Structure 1
């Protein structure tokens, strides 16, 4: 898990460390230029507390924290549009439209750069060999999962996903080595998702994780990892504009590459399904293609 995400989640921090974490999130660019003593004075803390916070984040000390922070801030500020708040309260509709359009383009470019083709190829081969593909995720991730499952179903590939509370845990328990699991989690740290991942490992099910960059818990249980564009904060944001689009992009690439493995067969199945089962238009409508 990257440093900024750890600071935002405040996992296992003391009250004093929470104050330090919040200060870094709000004044990161200033902190990078501070000495440990200046930072301690600004936050009414001590150098020892600052070092403890750094070590809880997997870093050796304050200098290591500053180096890591500077790198992550450069990623977050290298683009023109803030993915967390892409427009301000005084912006007109035209500015909002332009900013979100640019954010979408930046997110797609970032997602494409993160997509490792060797890993994608391995994922597609796993999906092709699987008797069943099982999708796991919470909240907004399920919206993308549902679309992916729908597309796969229309080319004849069985995909399971559950939306009711607790059902994903049961789905994991009845999994087996002939299944492949796709787990979608931006943070990779959600308790329910980690429990599901642990269960799947016990069932010897291969796991494909769609998650953010960094050393999160989910990545430790996964066989293959596809990375989401990770410039968005967990809580402090307007909406998951960037992360949801990045997840959708990855799932689209998975579907498209899977389709290409048996292109003619999948095309024939898809067109036959649409002609026979898609009831959006009356049979005798002049716009029906049949």
Structure 2
């Protein structure tokens, strides 16, 4: 409800009002404007100006929006992880999901460099993916910093595995575009194919599970991502073992 942009526009009185409201939201939704003014030691005109900055015509509309915001945070119905695991397994049994993993494994196995990319919780998984791939014989690095400088001219034979639930995160799209411009093949793992990141990728693996939000946080299960990363890494190892055996037999 309170975006960074809006908060940065508050003056000192409005900041004090904001601090009071965030600490006493459950009480504010039942207050009259005069009561809030007395509690915060500001004028009613300051409160009305505060409301307008939040695109509310008056204090009454602000209270309605505040209550809806509180209700959304309380109504999050968190199902068991087993539910989302079953949902993922059921959907992967259909279509050509495994073929996308195989295609990814083939591309990564022949790449000279492998770079995992992600921000937030996807950044943690990017680090896990790089470590897991490296443990199975395919050395990989990872980028979690959304402002990481990418200006290498030596990425033509590289593969970037980019993780994002929504596929619409600005920072992640920025990194994907920079890597693509430098010649890296883009492999994305997202929750849907109908996202910007998927459309700009050479290969996209979409796992389609129900997205879950708790307040501002996206807590969609990451079990499918871990499965995709581990399965891909095992396939790459098998590909490399086969290549090594064929090379050995030819000598």
2:203 to 224, 243, 248: 224
For structure 1, list consecutive stretches of 5 or more residues without a partner in the other structure. 1-83, 88-98, 267-290
Structure 1 residue runs of 4+, over 6 Å off? none
Does the Cα contact within 8 Å between 1:127 and 1:133 map onto a contact in 2? yes
Determine which structure has more spread, i.e. the larger CA radius of gyration: 2
In structure 1, the partner of 2:168 is 189
In structure 2, the partner of 1:117 is 98
Give the whole-Å Cα distance in 2 for the aligned partners of 1:163 and 1:224: 21
Superimposed CA distance per residue, residues 164-219 of structure 1 (whole angstroms, 9 cap, x where no aligned partner): 4522xx2x432511110011111111111111122122112110010122421112
Superimposed CA distance per residue, residues 121-164 of structure 1 (whole angstroms, 9 cap, x where no aligned partner): 22111111111100111111122222221122123322011334
Give the structure-2-normalised TM-score.
Answer: 0.58
Does the Cα contact within 8 Å between 1:211 and 1:225 map onto a contact in 2? yes
Give the structure-1-normalised TM-score.
Answer: 0.51
In structure 1, the partner of 2:77 is 85
For structure 2, list consecutive stretches of 5 or more residues without a partner in the other structure. 1-75, 245-251
Superimposed CA distance per residue, residues 49-85 of structure 1 (whole angstroms, 9 cap, x where no aligned partner): xxxxxxxxxxxxxxxxxxxxxxxxxxxxxxxxxxx63
1:202 to 181, 190, 193: 181
| Cα gap change, 1:239 to 1:112, in 2 (>3 Å) | farther
Does the Cα contact within 8 Å between 2:118 and 2:162 map onto a contact in 1? yes
Superimposed CA distance per residue, residues 71-123 of structure 1 (whole angstroms, 9 cap, x where no aligned partner): xxxxxxxxxxxxx6335xxxxxxxxxxx3334333334334546623322221
Give the whole-Å Cα distance in 1 for the aligned partners of 2:181 and 2:201: 12
Does the Cα contact within 8 Å between 1:133 and 1:160 map onto a contact in 2? yes
Say if 2:136 is the partner of 1:155: yes
Number of equivalences: 168
SS in 2 for 1:262: helix
| Cα gap change, 1:108 to 1:142, in 2 (>3 Å) | farther
Give the whole-Å Cα distance in 2 for the aligned partners of 1:140 and 1:183: 12
Give the whole-Å Cα distance in 2 for the aligned partners of 1:238 and 1:164: 19
In structure 1, the partner of 2:237 is 259
Please give the root-mean-square deviation of Cα atoms over the aligned residues, in Å: 2.7
Give the whole-Å Cα distance in 2 for the aligned partners of 1:187 and 1:198: 16
| Cα gap change, 1:200 to 1:127, in 2 (>3 Å) | same
Give the whole-Å Cα distance in 1 for the aligned partners of 2:118 and 2:83: 27
